[in-house]
Amino acid sequence: MKQRSTSGAAIVDDLAGYAGRPTAFFLRYALGRRKAHAIILAAVVAAVACSIFTQYAVKLMVDALSNPTAATVGVWTAFALLVAFIAGDNVLWRVASWIANSTFVKVTGDVRRDLFRHLTGHAPRFFSGTSPGTLTSRVSAASQAMFTIENMLAWNVLPPCLATLCAIVLVGTVSLGMAAALVVVAGIVIVVMFCRAAAGTTLHHAFAHHAAAVDGELTDVVGNMTIVKAFGGITREHRRFDATVKREMAARERSLRYLEYLRIAHALVTVALTIGLLAWALLLWQHGQATTGDVILVCTLGLSVLHATRDLAMALVDVTQHAARFSEALQKLLIPHEMRDHPAARPLTPAGISVRFEQVQFAYPDCPRLFDGLDFRIEAGQKIGLVGPSGGGKTSIFALLQRFYDVDGGRILIGGQDITAVTQQSLRDAIAVVPQDTSLFNRTLKENIRYARANASDREVREAAAAARCDFIDDLPHGLDTPVGDRGARLSGGQRQRIALARAFLKDAPLLLLDEATSALDTKSEEAIREALARLMRGRTVLAIAHRISTVRQFDRILVINGGCLLQDGSSDELATRSGLYRELLTA
């Protein structure tokens, strides 16, 4: 698209304004390739004109043949016109189709890319409340609907409208009264049809919603098939999916039935109109006010209008339903981003990475307040262990540090810089994370490790894998080029965790967040990884969540977190001598 911004952020921010404006969204992308669309439009208009004027050439030929005194040249002139219109009709359709095949596909790609960019700009809370399958379904539905609507408009909506207009013009050459009557009736039919079609929008939106739910259900079950099998849930899932499909089918049936009523009413009107036009033409011929060719012209034009408007009514079914899915998808996807970079945000300065929570207040959506004045400071280069019962807020501290959520009060500083005043990209570039539950892309090992630093060389990837003790790679059939399967399903938990460690080695960030980085390892592997972690932590600021106290006993400080509160802060030796939760955890 010519208007496409070179800045992904600019596109993302701009799209949110189209959530309730599907027509404006459609025009944005159509006009983005205006030259190609203008050629398609011109070719379709000319092709339809040639098709309709072919009938006028037939009328001229019939009149010439019906007049014994007419010159032979008149017959051949009419014949030449007929041949020219037939040739123009076919050539112009092929030109329009050839250009459209490329243009409509490119528009679909534009839509899919921009919706993906907008979707990935949402905060984690957006994804936690929506099924991934439903979101991906809506991206695909919106782009496919855009493609279908463009095709329907070009080949099934615009041509019958133009054909009707041209037919009215030619009918006017026979009788202005007949043309005027045709204009009035056609205008009333079109207005009533579109008004009644718009009245069924609620039904079409309901169908779109249930269709997206079916896709989301499929993705959810397939993605959790191991759990389904383990708990013998196949029959339950069959029943659940049957119920979901039944709701979608009922919604679609109501949508189609409503549109079918419109088509029946339209068919009755157009049949009556065609019969009336032909009877009118015969009366004019009977009184000598129309030639034989005029009667044939009105007859063929009447049939053309009948077929054209019938095709338009058929197209209305698909266009209306696809437009509903298009509109529903945009409403759900183009929600404004909750967290954006401040207009004056600057890149984070990575030198001297200290961490400070200043009276932080925070609550997850629709949940009680978790942090109410959480306050602590970590000096650059310190190694800090976070311990405490599950649900106490340790993982939330990691999430807030990475600005996956914004705090409700107070502020968080890294290197003395408020994280809301720096760009999110630079903030996350300064942080390496080794999560407890490592999720991998369905790509090769090399691609998964290189995800930490896209420009890393193969040698650097191999060195990171070696540093993380990924010895198992040598035993795989294709080494680093081995695909890992969906979410890393072809690897064990320990192997996935070592890949996460390799990412952290490759990223080489000054702030390191470890979430039980050795929890999925066997005893032999754990010792090797501890050595690797010691090298990884050297010279970095480290926060490590630990459920096993032995993991962090040698750290500079231990923060004991429970119920969103900082209960204790000190070295392991200091806290071990005090009564409190830390000593209870030590002796547990």
Domains, the chain: 8-333 (1.20.1560.10), 355-587 (3.40.50.300)
pLDDT digit string, tens, across residues 352-380 = 889 999 999 999 877 899 999 999 999 99
Task: List alpha helices for 430-474, DSSP H.
Answer: 445-450, 458-467
**Reported confidence tier of residue 9, pLDDT bands at 50, 70, 90:** very low
Q: Residues 425, 431, 437, 443: is their CA dihedral positive or negative?
A: positive
List the single range of 255-269, 403-417, 419-433, 533-547 with lowest mean pLDDT.
Answer: 255-269
418, pLDDT greater than 90: yes
Output the pLDDT for position 302. 67
Can you read off the two tokens belonging to residue 17? Answer: 């304004």
Give φ, ψ of 476 to 5 degrees: -80, 150
CA angle 336–338–343, rounded 5-degree value:
90
Output the pLDDT for position 12. 45
**Reported confidence tier of residue 309, pLDDT bands at 50, 70, 90:** low
List the single range of 120-129, 333-342, 405-414, 569-578 with lowest mean pLDDT.
Answer: 120-129
135, pLDDT greater than 70: yes
Q: Among residues of the chain, what percentage have pLDDT more than 70?
A: 83
Amino acid letter, 28? R
Output the pLDDT for position 13. 52
Output the pLDDT for position 42. 94
More confident residue, 465 or 51: 465
* All residues at 6 or more sequence positions from 219 whose CB lies less than 8 Å from its CB, including other chains: 131, 132, 133, 134, 136, 137
CB neighbour class for 464 (10 Å; exposed up to 12, middle 13-18, buried from 19): buried
Which among 200, 217, 211 is positioned nearest to 332, based on CA atoms?
A: 211
DSSP conformation class of 413: E
Q: Do residues 41 and 346 lie in contact, with contact meaning Cβ atoms separated by under 8 Å?
A: no
Output the pLDDT for position 306. 64
3-class secondary structure, 347: coil
Output the pLDDT for position 566. 92
Output the pLDDT for position 397. 94
Among 274-283, 338-347, 413-422, 466-475, which range has the highest average pLDDT? 413-422
**Reported confidence tier of residue 227, pLDDT bands at 50, 70, 90:** low
The kind and range of the H/E element at 409 are: strand 409-414
Across the beta sheet with 565-570, what order do the strands follow?
431-434, 511-515, 541-545, 383-387, 557-562, 565-570
**Reported confidence tier of residue 10, pLDDT bands at 50, 70, 90:** very low
List the single range of 34-43, 108-117, 385-394, 434-443 with lowest mean pLDDT.
Answer: 434-443
Distance, CA of 434 to CA of 428 (rounded, Å): 13
pTM of the model: 0.70
Output the pLDDT for position 303. 66
Axis-axis angle for helices 292-333, 176-199 (nearest 10): 20
Mean of per-residue pLDDT scores for the chain? 81
Can you read off the two tokens belonging to residue 386? Answer: 């976070």
**Reported confidence tier of residue 194, pLDDT bands at 50, 70, 90:** low
Q: Among residues of the chain, what percentage have pLDDT more than 90?
A: 20
